[in-house]
Structure 1
Amino acid sequence: MTKTIGIFTFFCFLLVVSSNLGKQMKSEDKSLDFTLPLLKMISNLQKEMKDVRREMKDVQLKKHIAFTVTHDGTGQRITHKSQVVKYNQVQFNIGGGYRKYSGHFVSPVNGTFVFFLSLQPFPGSKASFLITVNNRGMVEAVSGKIPHEYNMSSNMVIVSLRQGDHVWVMSHPTWSVDPRHHLKNRGNSFSGFLLYQR
């Protein structure tokens, strides 16, 4: 951004000097051979200045989007297949994409996003949860059954989204649900951020 401003300032200075020089040369001798090339150069500089202004405007319009959500000590009991996980602790939600009451992230812009899932089910139970984009399971976090121990699992995915696309975490659509499933505490989290905007 600093480099862009520097280039823009230099072009402005050069434009003023060149414009004054062109006027002076015209008044002194209209037949000078380098007047036309100089005017063309000024015209090209003006076009480049427009491009720089457009680039600066694009940078200012870029959105910042990122969120992290977790569960607290009460958490959420998982009772059925394809159940949406609704994280009850919003750590931060820059850009407002995550909807706490639906459990969905709704993309505010077209772009490429990165999402992370961390899973910590009840000790001694196995679990499988998916990061889902518009009803399509993208990646899965599977936690095996280890007696008396927490068995954590995680996964991540990079996806291209359009404005209005939905992303959420849900229990596996075909696995049977362990009645002890209770996702709680910060070992269960869902995060995402905008990598770049299209």
Structure 2
Amino acid sequence: MNLYLFIFAILFVGIHAKSSKSSSFCEIFQQCPLVASIPEMKTEIEGLKAEVQKLKTSIAFYASISRSIPMSQLHTHMILKYDRVELNQGNGYNKHSGMFTAPVTGLYMFFVTNNAADYSTISFKVVKNNVVKNQGISDAIATGARLSVTLATPVPLVSGDTVYVKISYLRAKHAYGLTSDHRHDECSFSGYKIN
């Protein structure tokens, strides 16, 4: 409504400034540069509305590994794929690649929990665009019990940046690797946009 009043005021001033007895209202209206830019302004306003809506959208995900993974299926530099997705607001997490891609720019918080099986060690990294942001180790090599480690990592992201979890070191005395049986423990990757 205010935009229309503003346009009317500009037109009114323009009409009085440029009017002569020989010019019609339509001719004067067509000459006003503001009138010519109305379609561009509408497009820009719609774009800004869409951007504001995008910023208001909450972004959060929670995914876990659906089953325990034997050591024979794990390798160094492997990106872990948390394939059981329970929450994916904003559709940033891809269970097929194991990667979170930031839908919008902002500060994000990520959590990773990994569980080493009895008599095994698994070291892992939280990676943003191929740059390590945090790392942890679940070292149960000397114990007969599973060992769980959780990392919390704040990461500033620009729209399109990726964050994922990559294995950096493995060692085991037997065939077991990551445990994620959903009864006693689970390996998970989650995150949300703070602001």
TM-score, normalization by structure 1: 0.63
Aligned residue pairs, count: 140
Is the contact between residue 115 and residue 178 of structure 2 (CA under 8 Å) also seen in structure 1?
no
For residues 55-93 of structure 1, give each alpha carbon's deviation from its aligned partner in whole angstroms, at most 9, with x where no partner exists.
xx9478512100000122355754321100001200110
Structure with more strand by fraction:
2
SS in 2 for 1:152: strand
Q: 1:89 to 1:79 in 2, by over 3 A?
A: same
Residue aligning to 2:81:
86
Q: 1:61 to 1:182 in 2, by over 3 A?
A: closer
Q: Which residue type is aligned with residue 190 of structure 2?
A: S
**For residues 162 and 156 of structure 1, what CA distance do their matches in structure 2 show?**
19
Is the contact between residue 118 and residue 141 of structure 1 (CA under 8 Å) also seen in structure 2?
no
RMSD: 2.4
**For residues 109 and 139 of structure 1, what CA distance do their matches in structure 2 show?**
22
Q: How far off is 1:182 after superposition?
A: 3.3
**For residues 102 and 67 of structure 2, what CA distance do their matches in structure 1 show?**
29
Gaps of 5+ in 1: 1-53
Aligned pairs (5 A) from 1:144-159: 144-145=139-140, 146-159=142-155
SS in 2 for 1:108: coil
**For residues 133 and 65 of structure 1, what CA distance do their matches in structure 2 show?**
17
Q: Percent identity?
A: 27
SS in 2 for 1:118: strand
**For residues 120 and 99 of structure 1, what CA distance do their matches in structure 2 show?**
22
Residue aligning to 1:99:
94
Residue aligning to 2:43:
none
Residue aligning to 1:8:
none
Q: 1:61 to 1:79 in 2, by over 3 A?
A: closer
2:78 aligned with 1:65: no
**For residues 105 and 60 of structure 1, what CA distance do their matches in structure 2 show?**
17
Residue aligning to 2:116:
121
Q: Which residue type is aligned with residue 191 of structure 1?
A: S
Gaps of 5+ in 2: 1-47
Is the contact between residue 117 and residue 141 of structure 1 (CA under 8 Å) also seen in structure 2?
no
**For residues 57 and 112 of structure 2, what CA distance do their matches in structure 1 show?**
23
Q: How far off is 1:143 after superposition?
A: 1.1
Q: How far off is 1:184 after superposition?
A: 2.5
**For residues 163 and 60 of structure 1, what CA distance do their matches in structure 2 show?**
11
- Which among 106, 115, 125 is matched to residue 111 of structure 1? 106
